[in-house]
Chain A
């Protein structure tokens, strides 16, 4: 980023470049969630670090590493093919906190909408998602994710 744009992006709170960072994190999640909903298992898993840990209340134990993440997406795909439902993950109210060494801690709400084949859409779940993001070649990878579901919390 040039000095000129840095100066322009100094916001009222005096956080130089925060708007830029925030937009980049929004893009990261849009990309990651679309890959997830497309069941693009390998590309989705590549948005996590090799040693990522993923905790969701529906799994007995946290998933560790990309192979486990891939298996999880393929299982979701099979289930949705059987049930004839399409899921869409909506992220909002994203809270981004820069940490040391380019890492980020984020917290957001996630809504899951489901649409059955030929039917109406409905809100399936309300979740909270907390991530640790590690810098990776100008972008990030999720190193640790904890998802809680409001109905199970």
Chain B
């Protein structure tokens, strides 16, 4: 069974897999929020695709993903000091026949500025990922983010 290919026990109902995917996202989101762009890009496959919004072109490959992340941050915040926390929830995971995982989940971003205890809650979005296993580890092959305000 596909679950075994990522090596976490032999759960027949995929719950070990579900916990594993949650753990993958927790690791990945820390890199994203600390703006460790190159390490974040390494959680994608070499040929990974990242589409942060339908309104901008997708980034193809790790170098482009890292560059797009840094450019987007600078465009939005310039040199302003902010802490961002991406929050994922309501995760659905399905295993495709080829063993890749299709996930769909909700995200929000809390943006906090120095000395202001009230965060801005960023755009509510729906994300769909394609995750694959390489050398026993999960990697994102494709990410498509659709912010709710652009989803109509």
Q: Which one of B11-19, B32-40, B45-53, B72-80 contacts A?
A: B11-19
Chain A contacts for B151, CB-based, 8 A: 86
Judge if A115 is at the interface, Cβ distance under 8 Å.
yes
- How many residues does chain B have at the interface if contact means C-beta atoms less than 8 Å apart? 29
Cross-chain contact of A86 among B18, B19, B148 (Cβ < 8 A): B148
B interface secondary structure, majority: mixed
Residue of A5, A30, A31 near B10 (CB, 8 A) is A5
A121 & B121 in contact (Cβ 8 Å cutoff) = yes
Please indicate the chain A residues that have their CB under 8 angstroms from the CB of B92 in the complex: 27, 30-31, 34
Given known contacts A27-B92, A121-B149, is B15 in contact with A115 (CB within 8 Å)? Answer: no
Knowing A30-B90, A31-B92, the reply to whether A120 touches B123 (Cβ < 8 A) is: yes
Q: Is A121 in contact with B106, judged by CB distance below 8 angstroms?
A: no
Tell me, rounded to whole Å, the shortest Cβ–Cβ distance linking A88 to chain B. Answer: 5
B residues at A contact (CB < 8 Å): 9-13, 15-16, 18-19, 89-93, 104-106, 108, 121-124, 126, 147-152
Pick 7 A–B contacts, CB within 8 A, sort by A.
A2-B12, A9-B9, A24-B15, A86-B148, A88-B124, A90-B89, A113-B121
- Lowest 9 CB-CB distances: which A-B pairs, in order? A115-B148, A121-B124, A23-B15, A86-B148, A30-B90, A117-B152, A113-B124, A20-B15, A115-B124
Binding site for B on A (CB under 8 A): 1-2, 4-5, 8-9, 19-20, 23-24, 26-27, 29-31, 33-34, 84, 86, 88-92, 113, 115-123, 138
